[in-house]
Every structure is written in C-alpha cells, then in structure tokens.
Amino acid sequence: MKFIAFNAREDEQQYFEAWEKKNDIQVKTVKGALDSNTLDRTIGYDGVLALQTGVFPNKMFDKLNKNGVKVFSIRNVGVDNLDLEEAKSNGIKVTNVPAYSPNAIAEFSVTQLMQLLRNTTVFRRKVAEHDFRWAPFVGKELRSLTVGVIGTGRIGRAAINIYRGFGAKVIAYDVYPNSELEKEGMYVSSYDELFAQSDVITMHMPATPKDHHLINAETIAKMKKGVYIINTARGSLINTPDLIAALKNGQVAGAALDTYENESPLFNHDLREEELQDKVFSELLELDNVLVTPHVAFYTETAVKNMVFVALDSAKAVCETGTADTIVI
C-alpha cells in the first residue's frame, strides 16, 4: 500500500512524515497541483490525496481508475469541485475531512467581524499616515447586534457559541436544522427572514448550485441597511460586483471575505511583482470597509495536522476494509 499527496505544503510535511513512520506506509508528497500534466504520477499508487479549491482535471476519475487508484482522499471538507458520479462509476471511493477544526474557522470569522465593527482597517491606515483623530469612525458593540448564522453544522455551531459568549442575539437558518438548536427556537423559516432581522450575516455552509450567488443585489436589498457580511465558506456564494456596489453605497457596512469566487489564480501565490489581472478583486482590495484574507480561516496547527492525519487514515481504511467513517461516496 502506498499513497501520493498533491499540493503538499511545507507546513504539512512534518505530519506526512510522522504518519508515514507510524503506519509504515509510503507517502509520496508533491508540491504541485493535481492536473492533466501530473495525473500520470498517480500510476502505481493505491490512494491519492488532494487539496485544491480550483478545477480538477477533466475525466480525472477515469484516468485514476486506469492507473489503479482505489481511493481519492481530499484534505478538506468541500467536494463541490469533484465529479462524484464519475468517481462512483469508476469504483473509486472518495473521502473528505469533515471536521479538521471547526473552532479555527469559527474563531477567525468572529475575529474578522470584530475588526470591522471597530474599524481597525481604517485606523491602521490613519495611524500610518500620522492622523490620530477618532471621528467619524465610531465602533459598534457585538452584544448589541443580531447575528444571522447560515449553516449550523460543526463550524456554524462553534460560531454560535462564540457569539453567545459576547452576548449577541443569534438566529440561524439551515435546510437541515440541528435538533438541539431547533428546540431552542433559534431558527428562522427562510433566508429572507434571516436577511431582514440580521445586523451581521455569517456564512458557514457548503456551496451548491441552488445557493450560487446567494448574496446578490436582490437579496442585499432585503437586508438591513448597514449590515455586515462574513464569508469563510465558499466564494461562489457571493456575487462580488453586487457586493462591491452595496459596500460603496452603504447598504452593506462592511465585509470580511476569506474566500473569493475566482480565488484559485490568486490565493496562496506570491504575486508581489505582478499586476493583478482580476479587476473585480482589485476593486475589492481598495475598499476600507473590506477585509480580504487568502482562505486561511482554517489555518492553524491543529487543523493542518488533522487534515493530513484524517485524510491518510481514511485512505488506509478504504484500502484495508473498503470503507471509512469519512466516505463521501
């Protein structure tokens, strides 16, 4: 049994090596992505581990099947960029890491919101310019706000607990409600109801075709004037040009975006010597009421270790037993 891992980062390497030593199973790590040029590197391996939010190669599972691969383990949660039917038809099991660290993402989302509420981006710029005046950038207290949480899985529930700790009123919407939260009467019945009541909207949901551009001009118009929007989920949930317009006219007071619809050419790349070609993204970066981070909400030591270990444990389990606790299909 042996595995190959693509997009293996330096911070993951110690965990790959530790798992390899503990299990006496070869794990080949590759820095580059899994694409049409690297697919042939999977020949002779029982399992493939991948971590990329962008597009995987066309007919990838057909090729992996021919190469003898039995299991495809992603080191993250979302499978929206995988053709699961193709994997199934080729007899390849797909696993994910459903909970590498819900607290990491929940904590980060709250941290970003707190910066927006206290205008730290603006004050950082003003201090750098030696302008030490306060007005007119008065802040807001979280305990006085209503936070609308979309998605109440592990991450959403962790965020709810943190917001409650601040004393905020929390409401939620999920197409698959949590029974305990349901008993507490936390849920509203629709997106529209959540939009109308929330001072803050934070998204902790998967991306589905139905929710593509959930945040757009029409839905933003249903929100309170001066709402804050937090997205640590998926970039495709937001129509960015519509959000930019609302940020400029004041309908949206601020946004914290850890993900962006067209992030693959940008995030986790050193582009300091290059001019950004994405004009929408460039316009977003110019706004003082926006915090953009390069998909790092998950990025803690605990999460990185769990992503590597759980993905490898899952691949091993599938090869040995034909199944795993983290099976997607």
CATH code assigned at 223: 3.40.50.720
Domain hosting 195: range is 102-292
Instruction: With a cut of 80, say whether residue 84 has pLDDT above it.
Output: yes
**DSSP states of 267-283 as a string?**
TTS--TTS----HHHHH
Instruction: Look at residue 77 and tell me if it is in a domain.
Output: yes
* The pLDDT of residue 52: 87
Are 110 and 142 in a shared domain?
yes
Number of domains in the chain: 2
In this structure, are 48 and 122 located in the same domain?
no
Residue 328 included in any domain: no
Q: What is the pLDDT of residue 67?
A: 97
Task: Say whether 77 sits in a helix, a strand or coil.
Answer: coil
Instruction: Between 299 and 53, name the one with better pLDDT.
Output: 299
Q: Which pLDDT tens digit goes with each residue over 8-41?
A: 999 999 999 999 999 999 999 999 999 999 999 9
The helix-helix angle for 301-321 and 10-23 (nearest 10°) equals 40
Residue 326 falls within a domain, yes or no?
no
- 7 and 57 in a common domain: yes
Do residues 33 and 73 both lie within one domain? Answer: yes
Averaged pLDDT for residues 100-124: 96
Averaged over 85-92, what is the pLDDT?
97
303 — pLDDT class (breaks 50, 70, 90)? very high
Residues 252 and 134 in one domain: yes
In a domain, 132, yes or no: yes
Q: Are 207 and 236 in contact (CB under 8 A)?
A: yes
The torsion angles phi and psi of 20, rounded to 5 degrees, stand at -60, -45
Q: Which two tokens stand for residue 261?
A: 């619809």
Tell me what pLDDT residue 162 has: 98
pLDDT of amino acid 113 = 98
Give the per-residue pLDDT at 77: 86
What amino acid is encoded at 183 in this protein? K
Domain membership of residue 327 (yes or no) is: no
Q: Are residues 76 and 122 in the same domain?
A: no
What does pLDDT average to over the chain?
A: 96
* Confidence band for 80, pLDDT divided at 50, 70 and 90: confident
Catalytic residue numbers read: 234, 263, 295
Residues 58, 199: one domain?
no
Could you tell me if 155 and 275 lie in one domain?
yes
Arithmetic mean of pLDDT, 277-296: 97
170 and 257 assigned to the same domain? yes
Question: H/E element holding 256?
Answer: strand 252-257
**Global pTM exceeds 0.85:** yes
Q: Is 250 part of a structural domain of the chain?
A: yes
Q: Quick check: 122 and 290 in contact, CB under 8 A?
A: no
Using an 8 Å Cβ cutoff, are 150 and 201 in contact?
yes
Lowest mean pLDDT across 72-81, 194-203, 223-232: 72-81
Residues facing 229 on adjacent strands: 201, 255
**How would you list the strands of the sheet with 2-5, edge to edge?**
26-29, 2-5, 47-50, 71-74, 93-95
* Whether residue 230 sits in one domain with residue 108: yes
Q: Is residue 12 located within the same domain as residue 154?
A: no
- Residue of 292, 242, 300 whose CA lies nearest to 263: 292
| Same domain as 113, residue 74 | no
Cβ-in-10-Å burial (0-12, 13-18, 19+) of 252 comes to buried
Does 88 fall in a domain? yes
Cβ(98)–Cβ(77) below 8 Å: yes
Q: SS3 of 126, please?
A: helix
| pLDDT tens digit sequence for 226-267 | 999 999 999 999 999 999 999 999 999 999 999 999 998 999
User: What confidence score (pLDDT) does residue 99 get?
Assistant: 86
Residue 151 within any structural domain of the chain = yes
